[in-house]
Amino acid sequence: MVRHIVLWRLKARDADFATIRQALERQVGRIPGLLRVEVGRAFNEGRRAVDFALVCDFASHEALAAYHRHGAHLETRAAVDPLIAEHWLADYDLPDTDEHAGRKEVKEEGE
C-alpha cells in the first residue's frame, strides 16, 4: 500500500475550505485503487505552517500513477488548484501489516 500526502498553502486564508474538502473527498469510489482520503484544516500559524493537508492511501504504485491521470482527479485539480499558492508532496510505501506487527520494539538510548 502507498500513502500520498499533500500539504497546501492557500492564496487566501479565507478560501472556502468546505468546497475544497468536498472536491477531494468526492474522488473516493470514482478512482480505482484509491482506498482512503482524509482532509484536514491545520490550526497552526506561522511562516512554516500550511493551511490544510490531504492524506490518501492507494492499493499500489500503479494505482497512484493512474490517479494522477484520472479524469476525476483532473476535475478536482481544476477546482482546487486556482486556490493554492504552494504545495508539497510526500509519497511512501506503507509497511506490510504482518511485517510491521512482527517488528521488535526499539528502545530509546539510555534505557
Contact 86, 47 (CB under 8 A): no
The letter for the amino acid at 24 is L
* Residue 60 or 104, more confident: 60
Domains of the chain in sequence order: 2-95 (3.30.70.100)
The letter for the amino acid at 27 is Q
Contact 17, 77 (CB under 8 A): no
* Residue 99 or 27, more confident: 27
- For residue 95, give every residue at least 6 positions away whose Cβ sits within 8 Å of its Cβ, in sequence order, or none: none
- Interval 18-75: pLDDT, tens: 889 999 999 999 999 999 999 999 999 999 999 999 999 999 999 999 999 999 999 9
pLDDT grade for 110, boundaries at 50, 70 and 90? low
Q: pTM for this structure?
A: 0.81
Per-residue pLDDT, 103: 45
Task: Give the CA distances from residue 35 to residues 32, 97, 104, in Å, rounded to whole numbers and listed in that order.
Answer: 8, 16, 28
